[in-house]
Amino acid sequence: MEQYNTDNSPIPTNDIKSLAVDDKNGLVYIGTDLGLTSLKTSSVAPADNFNGLFVYPNPVKIKDNDNVRITIDGLIKNSSVKVLSVTGKLVKEFVTPGGKVAFWDGKDESGNFVSSGIYIIVAYDEEGSNVAKAKVAILRE
């Protein structure tokens, strides 16, 4: 979950008077006594159906101790995501926050960065009847 304040965003004060959300574009408009500002967030309404996933950056370069954020875009409501090796081994599994976009930190279930290679991202709905997939290349430096 993302949190914004005067230390990590252009918000002029932490005393917020009003909010408006454009969930189609992920924009949040913030009204304060010092003015109006907007932030681009990952709070985008989910897609109606899977039209393919877009994973970026791709390829992903990872150094030890990096803060990695791999974006998985094109999700439908209540999607779950599995990251698989090319041999089909489960690397990571998580439920998305509910919107069109989710993030993977490039780590496996044990919290270690994955090895260099190609990984398959599989997203599916609660019933497992709607499925989408994409590939991502990981390059360890």
- Give the start-to-end residue ranges of the domains of the chain: 1-43, 54-140
Tokens at 38, concatenated: 């907007």
CB atoms closer than 10 angstroms to residue 139: 11
pLDDT of residue 95: 84
For the full predicted model, state whether its pTM sits above 0.75.
no
Specify the pairing of strand 131-140 against strand 60-62. Answer: parallel
Residue 1 has pLDDT above 60, yes or no: no
pLDDT average, residue stretch 105-129 = 90
pLDDT of residue 43: 66
Q: Could you read off the pLDDT of 67-94 as tens digits, one per residue?
A: 888 999 888 888 889 999 999 999 999 8
pLDDT range class, residue 45, cuts 50, 70, 90: low
Query: Which overall architecture, per CATH, does domain 54-140 show?
Result: Sandwich (2.60)
